[in-house]
Amino acid sequence: MYRDFGTILFLVFMGIVLIYAPLVIQKLLAPNDPNADKLATYECGEESEGSAWVQFNIRFYVVALIFLIFDVEVVFLFPWAVVFNELGLLAFVEMGIFLLILMLGLAYVWRRSDLDWVKYNVKYGRGRYSNLYKKSQTIKGS
């Protein structure tokens, strides 16, 4: 039994060799002559600007999470719909409960105004949205 693992060890070894061999070969053969254009990041022909390590607005992640609600829903709905005739009423009720709970999630983000991109009621906004809260307060007051 233990001898069978020899094959696996050989595969692991070959895996390592197959990765490093081309790298070593090209290091030996290829000419090394860098210049500024060659080292620049390729961005569909556009000149790249700034670093890729910028901070993204956290609301992109919120939108991704909202997307997941519908994504998961569809993933579960497809197999259910395919065998719907054989499963009958019980499966229909079960799916109804499932959808109800998922829709509760949608109602939740809606009520929390996470579906609005520009938020007027955020107290701690920064940058160009920072005065919106004050503005909305003055509009309400007037």
Nearer to another protein, 36 or 58 (CB): 58
Q: Smallest distance from the beta carbon of 101 to another protein, in angstroms?
A: 7
Question: Cα(121)–Cα(5) distance, rounded to whole angstroms?
Answer: 63
Q: Smallest distance from the beta carbon of 51 to another protein, in angstroms?
A: 23
Nearer to another protein, 123 or 128 (CB): 123
Question: Cα(66)–Cα(62) distance, rounded to whole angstroms?
Answer: 6
Nearer to another protein, 38 or 123 (CB): 123
Q: Which amino acid is at 49?
A: E
Q: Which amino acid is at 28?
A: L
Binding residues for another protein, rule: CB under 8 A, are 1, 90, 101, 104, 107-108, 111
Identify the DSSP state of 43.
Answer: B
Please name the residues in contact with 121: beta carbons below 8 A apart, sequence gap of 6 or more. 113, 133, 136
Nearer to another protein, 83 or 101 (CB): 101
Q: Smallest distance from the beta carbon of 111 to another protein, in angstroms?
A: 5
